[in-house]
Every structure is written in structure tokens, then in C-alpha cells.
Amino acid sequence: MNTLSIRARVFIGLVLASGCLGIIGAFPEPVLRDLPRFICYFFLALLSSGLKVSLPGVTGTMSVNFLFILMGVSELNLPQTLILGLGAATVQIFWHAKKSPKLVQVLFNEGSIALAICMAFVAYRSPLAHALGSSVPLMLIAAAVSYFVCNTFPVACIISLTEKKSLYKTWKNCYFWSFPYYMVGAAMVCVITMINKNVGWQFSLLVLPVCYVIYRSYHLYLERLQTEKSHVEQMNALHLRTIEALALAIEAKDHTTHEHLERVQHYAISMGKLLGLNELELDALRAASVLHDIGKLAVPEHIISKPGKLTPQEFEKMKIHPVVGAEILERVDFPYPVAPIVRAHHEKWDGSGYPAGLKGEEIPIGARILSAVDCLDALASDRQYRRALNLDDAMAVVAGEAGKAYDPRVVELLQLHYRRLETEAKGANHKKAAKLSTDLKIERGAAPAAGFESPRTSNYIAQIAAAGQEAQFMLGLVRELGTSLNLQETLSAVARRLSAVVSFQGMAVWECRDEVLLPVYVEGQDSELFSALQVPVGEGISGWVAKHNKAIINGNPSVEPGYLNDPSLFSTLRSAIAVPLEGMNGVVGVLTLYQTAHDAFGHDELRILTGISAKIGLSIENILKYRQLENFATTDHLTGLLNTRSLFERLENDMIRCQREKTSLTLLLCDLDGFKQVNDRFGHASGNKVLQLFAQGLQKTNREYDVVARIGGDEFVIAVTGLDQEALDGKFAAMTQLATEAGRSVCGESVVSLSIGHSTYQGSAAPGRAPDPNALLAEADQRMYEMKAHRKRPQPVSLPATDLQELVH
């Protein structure tokens, strides 16, 4: 009872009180009159109560015991009929119950049965029935109708109050279908009553098989209803799965987030309810809010995900998506009008939208709702081509379009409720979106806002002068590219010559490396911010260009990932042009120019950059290949440390510097003891891993200008300056610990130790003498092997005095 509403409690109390009053008013009459007939009817009613069926849509049952209750109304007195009916109701409640009924449920059912029997008894013996000539058929019809209404209506009421369902729909769907059976029962009781008068009441015993026939007809009819209901549920589930699958397809193509779709759906459904849409219209809006962009599957991906303005040709291609989306959804055969909403969701209130140019209320109400709420959530969300607006600012933008793009009535209602709807959308338990089995990367952001590039106007004299300047630029750039194998020098020359023909406030050249763009040359405005970025391929302007190998003109610079993560930062850069730099094996980088003016770049700049991009790309590719070869020649391929050749070059230079600066240079030569055991027991792959971990540790624990090299096998050399004895001892301990940890990390046990030899070169003690790295290395090598030999030499065993005495005796 504590969980029921006050209205439900009051109604239950009224039903119980009415039933109790009927029982109290009935029992002054004798109960033991015509006792054999009463006992027979009572047990027949109990037996028939077990023949019950579950009602569709509610947690209730119905049995055929009403036949014997009608027989009691016609042949027994009221107390006997109440006992018969209440006993039958008790059996019906507890017989094969799916779950144990609560006390309040039992009392309510008993009270409603008592009320229904009393009303049937009153109807059977009413003055109106007697005024019609005491016709038994008419009196039984009146009793059956009264019993039907008073038995089903209270149950429908309490179901409506507790389960919050429509009273009319509950009564109609769950009980009204059974009314003809009550009329058939009244006819059967009429026949039985007439036969009983001539044959005797014992003829009533033959009614039980008839009850079974009625029960079977109940059962078959409800089974058919349940089958139809299951079919409808399966169709609804199919439509739901279709919606989810299509929504997943939209996400894969349009890169729209699942959270955005669910927020739009929540907004749209809430607005639909506020505007009084019926159930079919709400179902259509629910599906359309998720599927309205399905037509973008027919639009090329580079247009959908372009983080900048669309060209007129691209925008024309984009405008087909409402029509294509509607055509796709018409094939799904939804039981509600989804396709018209999808077709019209880009129509505008003033008739300036597309594809059909509908105006005002010609646009379906679902499309009017969807366009407004979708715009609000899109403005309040981050997109590839712009930053998110504050929710209040986004609402102000939508309100400014009332009467032009959006229905004023929808916008007015949205203004009243958008904060509440946003709070509800954030607090909703959103279903986690399914993941497609694909390696494609899904970026945030829907398709960009439509727009056109700014045209450039110039006279023919300026065009001729510009053409001559471009020709000189191209000739000079071709001559300069390839003259240097230094990347900074080459790109600096490109920037210097490019500034003569293209106006820009900032420039960045990005190198593609392991699905990330790294800045290799940056100059101009915000160069420090751009220098610190690492742009994933596919994100931002430069990442999009690298992924799709297509140029972008007049993109928004602020969408470069990480560029303006701090809200306190502000950039005056307003437009960007980016072109891919393609080498022999694909895109090697991106060249991006930035301007402070909106739409600062035009087709002339795009033509120039496109013309030089291949040359710059090949030049960068050659420089990177040369740098890679140079690294192979000077570094150890396994550990990335200096190799023997580079070691001797560095040692000779460092020893000369020590002579000049009168400082010392300490050389440490180390060898991994037990390394052969690692290879033998755990394999060469584990041995390589130990070497790599030890090398990484050496690099981290030494300064950037110290020399760290691998000279072969498991031997490493470290050369450091300004090392005293205390620091040398600490260095020995740290290196030994690094070796032990590397072996334990790979092998799971301490199988590796370290032998270290050292030598020191005193620059002040050898003035004028040529440095000899070999001699320094040989001295360290000798001391290292002395350490190894000392470790292998057996150590004397010292025994306690008592043990010595025992040996002497």
C-alpha cells in the first residue's frame, strides 16, 4: 500500500467498503436454505475457477465461474451467492498463481466480486425487470451486464491508477472483448434454469463440460491475441533494430556522435509532447531524429567531413541527402510517417530551404521540431569547423532565426524549456553505441555549415603582373629546392620565396610520422603554439588534408587539435589554406598557411600551393631518407645508441675540448654478465629486449650531452665529464641496478649482472699531446676484466673458532 498513490488507496478503500456493505446487508437472510443445491453449485464454482486464462496486457486472470454465479443469482439467495462467488474468487486468485498475491490484492478482488454479485442480484430482481413481465431472459441479461461492468470496471480502474495506463484503453483492450461471453453465459443459464424447473436442479451437473468448452474457446482466442501481439512486438523490435543499424551507418559515415543523436531525440520527443503530437507522430519523430541524416551515405566522405566551407559544387552534392534519406526510409515501410520528416528537415519557415522549398505549415510538424532542436544541439557541441557555443548563446542564435528558418511557435516553446531539456538529456542513462568492426577512425563533428568561397576581383593588368611574379617564384623555388639536405634550410627558403606571392601571417609544415603530424617548420603568428602540437591524422584541418590527400581553402584554424585547448587563450587567426605534400610513396606532410582575415585565401593561392606541393613533397622525402641513412650510419639499429664509429668521433672531440678547458673525461665500459645464459635459456628475442631496456635506462640516467654507445654484443660505453669519485661510485650502483632490473623484467629472475671498468682522461695533465680514444678505451677494458676475474676467484671461507678446534682434533 505504501507504494500506491493516494488516489489508488482511496479507490481501493471505496471498493472494499462497498463490498463489505453488500455482505453485511445480505446476511440477515438464511444461508442453509435448499442446502444440497447450494453445496452442488458451490463445488462446481470452485472447480470452474481453476479453468482460468491470463488477460492480455495486464497481470490479471479470468475464469468461467461467472456461469455458476449467474445460476446462484437466479436460483439461490444473496448470502449463498456471495459465499459461492467469494469462494470461487479465492480459488481463482491462489490456484496456480504465477506469484504469491499480496493481501491488498486479495481484499480488493474479494471486495469487487462482492460488489458485482450484489449489483447483479439487484439488477435481476429490480422493479424494471418485473415491470417488463418478469421475463427470465431479460432479468438474466440485466444481471450479466451488471456483473460484467461491476466486475471489470474496478479492476480496470486500479490497473489504470497503479500502472499509469489509460482507463478506457485498459478496459477496452483487456475486458470488453469478453462481453459476448457473458451474454452467451446468460443464455446458457436461462436454458439451464428452465430445464431445472422441469427436470430438477441436478441437471446443473452437466454444465461443467460446457464450462470447459467455454474455457477452451477463451484460451484459443487469447492465444490468437497473444500471437498477434507477439507479431506486433516483433515488428516493433525489427523497426527498432533497423533504426539502430541505420543510425550506426550514419555514425560511420557522418562522424556524428551517438550522444548528439540521443540528445536530439530527447529534445525532439519532449517538444513533440509539449506540442500535443499523437502516438504515431511521436514514433515517427523518434525515428526521424536519429535517421534524418541517413542520406549522407550517398555524399562523398571528403565533403561530409571537410573542416571548412563547401564549394558551390560540393554544396550541390550535399543538398541531395534529404531526398536520398527519404527514399531509403520509404523502403523500410515504417508504420508511421518517418520519410516526410526526413525529406523536409532542411526546409525553412520562409520557404528558402531545400529540397522542395516548402513554406510555413506546409512543412511537417515533425520536421519543424527536428530542424530547430538539431540546430540548437549542434551549435552547443564542438565541431571540426568551429568551437561549441554556450547553450544560452546557441539558443539566442536559434531564436534569431524564428520566422525565417524555424517555426516561431516551436522556437517560443523551446526557449521556455531548453534548460530543463538539457538537464534531462545530460542525466539520461544513454545506451552505449555499438562499435563497427573497422579500422576507420571516427572523428567528432557533423557535416560543416554550408557556405561559399569568397570570389576575388582583379583587373587584367594585375593578373598579368601576378602571372609573371608566379613564374619567377616557380623558377627560383625549383632552383633552390635540392641544393640543401638540411630540412630547416630548405623550408626556410620555401617560406621566404612563398611570402613574395602569397600573403600569410603564419606558416606550418607538418611531417607525417606514425599516423601523427609533427611540426618540422613553423614561423609567424602563434608559432610557439603550433610548434607544440601533435595533430592526429584525420583531425583538424591539417590532419584532414593528410588523411584525404585533398586541399582545404579557408578552413578554421582554431580546430587544429590542441591549438586552443586553454579557454583563456585567444587567436586572431581566422582562415587557413592547407595542401598535401606528396612524395613517391604517398603523403609525407602538409603545408598550411594562416591568415587573420576571414576568407583570406582564394583560387589563386590554391593554384600556387598546389603547383609547388609535389616539388616540396619530393624534396622533404629525399631529406628524410638522407636523414634516415645518416642515422643508420651513426647509430646502433637495435638500441638506437651511438655505434662504434660515432663513439670514436665523439670521444676525440670531447678529449680535445677537455684539453682546451682543462677538465676531465671519465669513460665507463660495461659488460652484461650472464647475458649468454639469457639467450640460451630464454631465446635471442628476450636477449634483444634486455639490451633495449638497459640502453633505454642508460639514456634516461645520463645527460643529453653525455656519450652513450653500444660497441658490440653486450658491451656499452658511457663518457661523462666532471665526474668525481663519489659521483663515480653512484654511477656504478645505478648502472648495476639498471642491468639487474632489465634482466628481471624480461626473464622474471635475476640472471644478469654488470662488470664495469673505467678510465679517466685529465686534459690539464696532457698539454699538447694528441688525444688517444683507443688508449682510454683499452684502460677501461683492462679494469673491467680485472673486475670479472675478481668475481670469479674463489673467496676464502672463515669459520667460527669452535669449528676450527673440531678440525684440529
Read off the pLDDT band of 369 (50, 70, 90): very high
Where exactly does CATH 3.30.450.40 map onto the chain?
462-633
CATH 3.30.70.270-classified regions of the chain: 650-792
Residues of each domain in the chain carrying CATH 1.10.3210.10: 255-427
Cell 520536421 found at: 367
- pLDDT given at position 457: 40
Q: What is the helix (H) or strand (E) element at residue 207, kind and residue range? A: helix 207-254
Host H or E run for residue 593: strand 586-595
Q: What is the pLDDT of residues 298-341, one digit of tens each?
A: 777 667 767 667 777 778 888 888 998 888 888 877 778 889 99
Kindly report which listed range (146-160, 305-319, 422-436, 794-808) carries the lowest average pLDDT score.
Answer: 794-808
**Given this model, what pLDDT does residue 320 score?**
87
Q: How confident is the model at residue 76 (pLDDT cuts 50, 70, 90)?
A: confident
Structure confidence at residue 379 (pLDDT): 85
The per-residue pLDDT for range 394-404, each reduced to its tens digit, is 899 999 999 99
Q: Is 655 helix (H, G, I), strand (E, B) or coil?
A: helix
Q: Are 501 and 477 in contact (CB under 8 A)?
A: no
State what percent of residues in the chain have pLDDT above 70: 76
> What's the DSSP call for residue 797?
P
- Residues 730-768: b if buried by 16+ CB within 10 A, e if exposed: ebeeebbebbbebbeebbeeebbebbbbbbebebeeeee
Which residues in the chain are classed under CATH 1.10.1760.20? 6-228
Cell reading at 127? 422493479
Distance CA 164, CA 61 (A): 19
Closest among 7, 5, 6, 12 to 104, alpha carbons compared: 12
Taking residues 462-490, what's their average pLDDT? 60
Angle between helices 408-427 and 391-400 (to 10 degrees): 160
Contact status, residue 506 vs residue 523, Cβ threshold 8 Å: yes
How is residue 505 annotated by DSSP?
Answer: S
Q: What is the pLDDT of residue 739?
A: 92
3-class DSSP assignment, residue 673: strand
Overall fold of domain 6-228: Arp2/3 complex 21 kDa subunit ARPC3 (1.10.1760)
With a threshold of 0.75, does the pTM exceed it? no
Separation CA 192–CA 647 (nearest Å): 117
Distance CA 728, CA 666 (A): 9
Instruction: Write out pLDDT tens, residues 193-221.
Output: 777 777 666 666 666 676 677 667 766 76
CB 555 within 8 A of CB 545: no
3 state SS of 49: helix
- 300 burial class (0-12, 13-18, 19+ CB within 10 angstroms)? middle
Residues 123, 143 contacting (CB under 8 angstroms): yes
Quick one: pLDDT at residue 8?
80
* Nearest in space to 496 (alpha carbons), one of 481, 511, 517: 481
CATH classification of 462-633 is 3.30.450.40, yes or no? yes
| pLDDT band at residue 440 using 50, 70 and 90 as cut-offs | very low
The CATH number that domain 255-427 falls under is 1.10.3210.10
Question: Is pLDDT at 431 greater than 60 in this prediction?
Answer: no
CB 8 within 8 A of CB 162: yes
**Residues of 672-690 as b/e, b for ≥16 C-beta within 10 angstroms?**
bbbbeebeeebeeebbebb
CATH of 650-792, one of 3.60.15.10, 3.90.470.10, 3.30.70.270, 3.40.640.10: 3.30.70.270
Structure confidence by residue, pLDDT tens digits, 100-152: 778 888 888 888 888 888 888 888 877 665 665 567 778 888 888 888 888 88
Cβ-Cβ contacts under 8 Å for 142 (sequence gap 6 or more)? 123, 124, 126, 128, 129
Residue 623's pLDDT band (boundaries 50, 70, 90)? confident
Q: Which residue has the cell 588534408?
A: 545
**pLDDT surpasses 80 at 89:** yes
Per-residue pLDDT tens digits for 150-198: 888 888 888 777 766 677 777 777 777 677 777 877 887 787 777 777 7
Cβ-based neighbour number of residue 770 at 10 Å: 9
- In angstroms, the CA 2 to CA 449 distance is 54
pLDDT tens-digit map of 34-58:
788 888 878 878 877 777 666 655 5
Which range of 288-302, 487-501, 687-701 scores highest in mean pLDDT? It is 687-701
pLDDT digits (tens, 9 = 90+) for 566-604: 555 567 788 899 999 988 888 999 999 999 888 888 888
